[in-house]
Amino acid sequence: MLTSAAALTDGQVRAPSRLPRWSRGPVLTHLARSAGSRTRLLTAARTGADLPQDRDEAERESEITEGAGRPAAVLAQDLHSALHRSLAAAHSHPQDARDVPVRWLGAGLRPERGAVSSMLREVHHTDLAAGHEPAHWPAPFVQREPSTVAAALNDRGDAPALVLLADEDRVPRPIGDRAGPQASGPAAHLLGRLTGRIDGRTLTVGPPGPLVPVPARLK
């Protein structure tokens, strides 16, 4: 992702991303601020300081808007610095502090242990529209996430009836009503469809028919 970001020109960071109404500049800024928010959570758990992930949604959106118009080189350097600070904080984090409750935006007090895994779900490298596709997502992420995404959809009231069947493990993962159609294919393609990154035409649906529309993207 850092390599992709560093290759973008000033003109390219103003061009559309894959996210509705966002150019690449807001995507890069969002990623940098997301990394910074995880650093705060890790620091809060380690030190006991009252450092919320973000103060509120309005401040978060304001930071993204204000930072998005910077030159491409500044955006790339900001992302590089923020990610490396977050990785360093995670690397040095004591194991006995992973269950310390910290203040997550929109979720209240929850254990810190989700900070790194939740950052891995920020699949916005693909949203940069710079050649990175769901098929390039790392194997450990792809192996873990079908169950996570199915659970997230089941927690929503607007999830369609659907059964996911990844080629890699052939484990049925029902969403909504178990009587729904079955969508099968590579796990990365299932995830790409369910998170709104690809159209799902590579998936097989049984009984044959169009893939049931999924609700608004999860990420």
Q: How much is the pLDDT for 219?
A: 44
- Transcribe 140-162 into DSSP letters: HHHHHHHHHHHHHHHTSTTPPPE
On the question of pLDDT at 165 being above 70, the answer is: yes
- Domain residue extents for the chain: 2-122, 136-206
Q: How much is the pLDDT for 41?
A: 96
Q: In the CATH scheme, what is the code of domain 136-206?
A: 3.30.1050.20
Tokens of 62: 């304001």
- The class of domain 2-122 in CATH terms is mainly alpha
Q: How much is the pLDDT for 2?
A: 95
Measured in degrees and rounded to the nearest 5, phi and psi for residue 74 equal: -70, -40
Q: How much is the pLDDT for 207?
A: 87
Interatomic CA distance for residues 46 and 112, integer angstroms: 9
Which has more confidence, 81 or 213?
81
Each residue's pLDDT tens digit, 58-113? 998 999 999 999 999 999 999 999 999 999 999 999 999 999 999 999 889 999 98
Q: How much is the pLDDT for 38?
A: 95
Across all residues in the chain, what is the average pLDDT? Answer: 90
On the question of pLDDT at 49 being above 70, the answer is: yes
Q: Are 182 and 163 in contact (CB under 8 A)?
A: yes
How far separated are the first and last CA of the chain, in Å rounded?
Answer: 17
Q: What percent of the chain has pLDDT over 70?
A: 96
For residue 127, count other CB atoms closer than 10 A to its CB.
24
Q: Are 47 and 39 in contact (CB under 8 A)?
A: no
- Confidence bin at 215 (pLDDT 50/70/90): low
Tokens of 123: 């699949």
On the question of pLDDT at 178 being above 80, the answer is: no
Question: Strand 162-166 vs strand 172-175: parallel, antiparallel, or unpaired?
Answer: antiparallel
For residue 194, count other CB atoms closer than 10 A to its CB.
26
Which has more confidence, 6 or 114?
6
* 108, β-bridge pairs: 104
Interatomic CA distance for residues 111 and 94, integer angstroms: 14
Interatomic CA distance for residues 37 and 59, integer angstroms: 12
Buried b / exposed e along 106-122 (16+ C-beta atoms within 10 A): eeeeeebbbbbebbebb
Residue with tokens 């659907």: 162
Residue with tokens 């949604």: 57
On the question of pLDDT at 124 being above 90, the answer is: no
**Strand order from edge to edge, sheet including 204-206:** 172-175, 162-166, 182-185, 204-206
Mean pLDDT, range 120-130, rounded to an integer: 87
